[in-house]
Homo-oligomer: A and B are copies of this chain.
Amino acid sequence: MNAGQKATGIVPVPAELVDALRARFGDDFSTADAVRAQHGRDESAFDPAPPDGVVFCTDTAEVADAVALCAAHAVPVIAFGAGSSLEGQLLAVHGGITLDLSRMNRVLEIAADDMLATVQAGVTRLQLNDELRHSGLFFPIDPGADATLGGMTATRASGTNAVRYGTMRENVLALTVVLADGRVVRTGTRARKSSAGYDLARLFVGSEGTLGIVTEVTVRLHPQPAAVAAAVCSFPDVAQAVECTIAIIQGAIPIARCELMDVHAVRAVNAHDHLGLPEQPLLLMEFHGSAAGVREQAEAVQALASDHGGSDFAWADTPEERSRLWRARHHAYLSALQTRPGCRCVTTDTCVPISRLAESISATVAEADAAGLPYFLVGHVGDGNFHVGYLIDPLQPDERELAEALNARLVRRALALGGTCTGEHGVGLHKQEFLREEAGDDAIALMRALKHALDPMRILNPGKIFS
- Identify the A interface with B (CB < 8 A): 111, 113-116, 155-158, 162, 166-167, 169-170, 179, 183-187, 189-200, 202-203, 205-207, 211, 222-223, 225, 249-252, 289-290, 292-293, 296, 349, 351-356, 383-385, 418-427, 431, 434-435, 438-440, 442-444, 446-447, 449-450, 452-454, 465-466
Which residues of chain B come closer than 8 Å to A425, judged between CB atoms? 195
Residue ID in chain B nearest A116 by CB atoms: B353
Q: Out of B191, B207, B356, which one reaches A420, CB within 8 Å?
A: B191
A113/B158 in contact, CB under 8 A: no
A198/B450 in contact, CB under 8 A: yes
Which residues of chain B come closer than 8 Å to A420, judged between CB atoms? 189, 191, 193-196
B186/A424 in contact, CB under 8 A: no
Which residues of chain B come closer than 8 Å to A444, judged between CB atoms? 197
Residue ID in chain B nearest A226 by CB atoms: B252
- A442-B183, A443-B200, A446-B185 known; A422 vs B194 contact (CB < 8 Å): yes
Q: How far is the CA of A383 from the CA of B115 in the complex (A)?
A: 12
How many copies of the polypeptide does the oligomer hold? 2
Residue ID in chain B nearest A415 by CB atoms: B189
Q: Out of B186, B293, B450, which one reaches A293, CB within 8 Å?
A: B293
A193/B383 in contact, CB under 8 A: yes
Nearest CB in chain B: distance from A286 CB, A:
17
A450/B453 in contact, CB under 8 A: yes
B296/A197 in contact, CB under 8 A: no
Point out which of A191, A252, A443 has the most chain B C-beta atoms below 10 A from its C-beta.
Answer: A191
Residue ID in chain B nearest A184 by CB atoms: B442
Which residues of chain B come closer than 8 Å to A438, judged between CB atoms? 189, 196
Sorted from nearest, which 9 A-B pairs have the closest CB atoms? A223-B252, A190-B418, A202-B202, A113-B355, A453-B453, A194-B420, A114-B353, A191-B351, A190-B353
Nearest CB in chain B: distance from A116 CB, A:
7
B440/A185 in contact, CB under 8 A: yes
Q: How far is the CA of A427 from the CA of B196 in the complex (A)?
A: 6
Residue ID in chain B nearest A137 by CB atoms: B252
Which residues of chain B come closer than 8 Å to A169, judged between CB atoms? 193, 199, 202
B197/A447 in contact, CB under 8 A: yes
Q: How far is the CA of A426 from the CA of B199 in the complex (A)?
A: 12
- A166-B170, A202-B202, A203-B203 known; A193 vs B442 contact (CB < 8 Å): no
A191/B384 in contact, CB under 8 A: yes
Nearest CB in chain B: distance from A25 CB, A:
24
B206/A198 in contact, CB under 8 A: yes
B384/A435 in contact, CB under 8 A: no
Q: Could you list 22 A-B pairs, sorted by A, with CB under 8 Å?
A: A114-B355, A115-B250, A156-B194, A185-B443, A185-B446, A187-B439, A189-B419, A189-B420, A191-B385, A193-B420, A195-B206, A195-B427, A197-B439, A197-B447, A197-B465, A198-B465, A199-B205, A202-B203, A203-B450, A225-B252, A446-B454, A449-B454
Which residues of chain B come closer than 8 Å to A190, judged between CB atoms? 352-353, 418-419
B191/A423 in contact, CB under 8 A: yes
Q: Out of B113, B193, B222, B289, which one reaches A162, CB within 8 Å?
A: B193
Q: How far is the CA of A351 from the CA of B383 in the complex (A)?
A: 30
Nearest CB in chain B: distance from A345 CB, A:
18
Nearest CB in chain B: distance from A192 CB, A:
5
A203/B198 in contact, CB under 8 A: yes
Q: Give me 20 other A-B pairs in contact (C-beta within 8 A), A116-B353, A185-B446, A191-B384 excluded.
A: A115-B354, A167-B193, A169-B202, A185-B442, A189-B419, A189-B420, A192-B354, A194-B351, A195-B422, A195-B425, A196-B420, A196-B431, A196-B438, A196-B439, A200-B447, A203-B203, A225-B252, A289-B293, A290-B296, A292-B296
Nearest CB in chain B: distance from A260 CB, A:
16
Q: How far is the CA of A202 from the CA of B156 in the complex (A)?
A: 13
Q: How far is the CA of A207 from the CA of B199 in the complex (A)?
A: 8
Nearest CB in chain B: distance from A460 CB, A:
13
Point out which of A156, A440, A454 has the most chain B C-beta atoms below 10 A from its C-beta.
Answer: A156
Q: How far is the CA of A184 from the CA of B202 in the complex (A)?
A: 22
